Amino acid sequence: MTSTQQIREAARRRRRRARLLVGVVAVPTAVLAVSSLIGGQDGDGDARGRPTPSPGRQSGPISPQGAVTLPGAAELLDERFPVRFPHTPQGAAAAMAAMLSASWTLDADHNLRAADIYAQPQIRERAREAAVPSARGMREHIGLPPDGPLPDEAYVRVTPIGVRWKVITPDQIRVAMMVDVTAAASAQATPQSEVVALGSDWVWDRSVRGGDWVWTLDDVSEFVPEIADPGTQRFTSLGWLPVDS
């Protein structure tokens, strides 16, 4: 499937998968450009309820309320890209959160650099294909020209609100993540916000930064639960774990 076909197919999926918030008309191209490369699940597809993973079967810090604490990075590359996460399932999830935040921005050059940093070396060119459409789509989504200087107060904020993972091997973790994507052209503008759920496989690559998590193009759509409100029984039954803010 070509990249254009992937984006169109992702658009079809995401329009059903995203929960509409604050007057958003459709899922922005920015999200589609990236999510077309990593897995998701159709809203009318196989949406089986899954039991909440038992905290005793998860490794790493889990709060008494069951919320996951995503660990911090050991290094800030170029003073803006968190890298070198712990070699744990939570570390892989934290790397995914960092990748999404770094890939859904208003700056195409920033997105290109993020593709080089977080993608598996052999898929970096594919990952870079989403960088410019992502920036342009997000700009247009909040009413800015697709190119040119940005207002100082324009922003995009990506906040993880749900996560689940499956340990394939200690060096391969399948991660599904639900994130709130909020963007605005200025501090005075009405923020545009939506929730998206998506997933990808993360592999521990010892050739990258002496050992770090990088994402792959493996199709993990069936692993991604439906979107649900945190704190509800449905959120829990689908297998989501809340993320500590």
What is the per-residue pLDDT across 119-172, written as a single tens digit (0 to 9) for each? Answer: 999 999 999 998 999 999 999 999 999 999 999 999 999 999 999 999 999 999
**Whose structure tokens read 């077309």?**
36
Phi, psi (deg, nearest 5) at residue 136:
-65, -40
Cα separation, 192 vs 18, in Å, equals 13
Cα separation, 181 vs 16, in Å, equals 16
Q: What residues in the chain have per-residue pLDDT under 70?
A: 1-65
Cα separation, 82 vs 99, in Å, equals 9
Could you list the beta-strand ranges (E) of the chain.
19-21, 75-77, 81-83, 155-169, 172-184, 192-205, 212-215, 241-242
Provide the pLDDT for residue 199: 94
Cα separation, 94 vs 88, in Å, equals 10
Provide the pLDDT for residue 245: 72
Element (H, E) at 222: none
DSSP-derived secondary structure letter, 57: G
Burial 47-80 (b: 16+ CB within 10 A, else e): eeeeeebeeeebeeebeeeeebebbebeeeeeee
Provide the pLDDT for residue 66: 78
DSSP-derived secondary structure letter, 55: G
CA dihedral 185→215→120→220, nearest 10 degrees, is -120
Domain boundaries, the chain: 3-242
Percent of the chain as helix, strand, coil, to the nearest 5? 30, 25, 45
Which amino acid would we find at residue 39? G
Provide the pLDDT for residue 45: 34
Cα separation, 89 vs 71, in Å, equals 10
Angle between helices 108-118 and 89-103 (to 10 degrees): 160
